Amino acid sequence: MTNSGKSEGSGKLEGSATSGGGPRIVVVGAGFAGFHCARRLSRRLRGRATVILLNPTDYFLYLPLLPQVAGGLLDPRRVTVSLPATLPHVELVLGEAKSVDLDAREVTYVDPEERGGKLAYDVLVLAAGSVNKLLPIPGLAENAHGFRGIPEALYLHDHLTRQVELAESATDPAERAARLTFVVVGAGYTGSEVLAHGQRLTESIRRRRPRLAGDRTHWLLLDTADRVLPGLDERLSRTAARVLGRRGVDIRMGTSIKEATAEGVYLSDGSFVASRTLVWCVGVRADLFLSGLGLPTEKGRLVVDADLTVPGRRRCTPSATPPPSPT
């Protein structure tokens, strides 16, 4: 949270000439942090401040359940929470933040129809979140499927379904095998879950196709790490690898891709895997929006103090804190 207000000595939230009474608190991003921050501020400061939430969509997305959407187990509506319905005292502005003028105290954004706008603020909360981490691998951006939102999850579901259906109509055995081969890069939480649900989906579809009775889907899980789910305890990691192995997953640790094409992927061990599906789940990085703010960063993330305030930026706190509202 940063503040560029004029007064620093009193530490009070004072009214701003730009807000017409009461300070304006702009929260950028409605992920886990931004959503809960906006909700708590609106409850504690109701009538004493204006809370504005800037987000590209009008819903909060529960990211951990996206693999179930891609696998067809959950309707997309089950993994979203309406922002207007759950944050009735927060002003929602649909748009994506592009820059911040720290001196003028303005956030520049672009709305879903590519129109520009500006939001004046007294207090700014940056909770832009993360985006897919792409590596400089030839053909990756053009041929890989990302996995960070509902549109991508739905597209992946349709793509997996379509590949099995196209495999059924293929007369060339090599093409059929390629369409039934699916490559997932990244053996962390997201990659492992996407693969598990994707395999269940494609096998379910294949079993309903009589012409594919003699074929099986082939799923590969790649990672440069030495084990599946490297962030977990080794015992849990071994259990996950054993379960995936029993399901026929081809696990290749210490391996990644060095080139992606429309016909398949070249692996770091020198081999080529013919496939029409490459799912990229290597990880995330901080939103590039943060790197253009002129503030200190470390590995793309803002450097903050223990209270999450950007060093050197003026702080402000409410002059009197009301009793906490029920959560």
CATH of domain 140-280: 3.50.50.60
Domain positions in the chain:
2-129+287-302, 140-280
Q: Is the pLDDT of residue 15 over 60?
A: no
**pLDDT confidence of 52, banded at 50, 70, 90?**
very high
From the list 178, 180, 30, the residue with the least C-alpha distance to 38 is: 30
What integer pLDDT is reported at residue 134 of this predicted model?
A: 79
Residues 6+ apart with CB under 8 A from 245: 251
3-state secondary structure (DSSP) of residue 153: helix
Q: Is the pLDDT of residue 151 over 70?
A: yes
What integer pLDDT is reported at residue 315 of this predicted model?
A: 55
Q: Looking at this protein, which amino acid is placed at residue 118?
A: K
Asked if 2-129+287-302 and 140-280 have one fold, the answer is: yes
| pLDDT digit string, tens, across residues 57-78 | 999 999 999 999 999 999 999 9
| pLDDT digit string, tens, across residues 255-276 | 999 999 999 999 999 999 999 9
pTM here is 0.83
**pLDDT confidence of 292, banded at 50, 70, 90?**
confident
Mean pLDDT, range 104-114, rounded to an integer: 95
What integer pLDDT is reported at residue 30 of this predicted model?
A: 96
Residue 136, burial from CB neighbour count under 10 angstroms (0-12, 13-18, 19+): exposed
| pLDDT digit string, tens, across residues 242-251 | 999 999 999 9
Q: Is the pLDDT of residue 228 over 80?
A: yes
Say which CATH topology domain 2-129+287-302 has.
FAD/NAD(P)-binding domain (3.50.50)
Work out the angle between the directed axes of helices 150-169 and 189-207 (0-180°, nearest 10). 40
Q: How many Cα atoms sit within 13 Å of 90 on the Cβ side?
A: 30
